[in-house]
């Protein structure tokens, strides 16, 4: 997956494009996928991916899959 990271508001805190976040959240919904492994493969912290999933689940973004 392609990620075009832009500098965040704080030093060392990158901003990931919404499309990248959406792709990872959708990929994390597939059966048998390890969220930790998916995060590692894409160079992000697993806690960040869990946070993105939670944001989608709470409705700040539109739902991606039935799990959320």
Q: Would you say residue 27 lies in a domain? A: no
CB atoms within 10 A of CB 64: 20
Mean pLDDT, residues 6-20: 73
| Token couple for 56 | 């989608």
CA–CA distance, 18 with 62 (Å, rounded to integer): 12
Please tell me the total count of domains within the chain.
Answer: 1
Q: Select the more confidently predicted residue: 66 or 40.
A: 40
CA–CA distance, 6 with 13 (Å, rounded to integer): 9
Give pLDDT tens digits for 15-58: 889 899 999 999 999 999 999 999 999 999 999 999 999 988 88
Q: Would you say residue 40 lies in a domain? A: yes
| Residue 40 structural domain | 35-68
Q: Would you say residue 20 lies in a domain? A: no
Q: Would you say residue 59 lies in a domain? A: yes
- Which helix (H) or strand (E) element contains residue 55? helix 46-57
Q: Would you say residue 16 lies in a domain? A: no
Enter the pTM of the model. 0.71
Secondary structure letter of residue 39 according to DSSP:
H
Q: Would you say residue 15 lies in a domain? A: no
């Amino acid at each position: 997956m392609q990620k075009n990271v832009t500098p965040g508001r704080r030093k060392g805190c990158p901003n990931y494009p919404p499309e990248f976040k959406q792709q990872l959240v959708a990929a994390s919904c597939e059966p048998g996928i390890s969220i930790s492994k998916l995060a590692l493969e894409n160079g992000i912290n697993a806690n960040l991916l869990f946070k993105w999933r939670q944001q989608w689940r709470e409705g700040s973004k539109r739902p991606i899959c039935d799990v959320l």
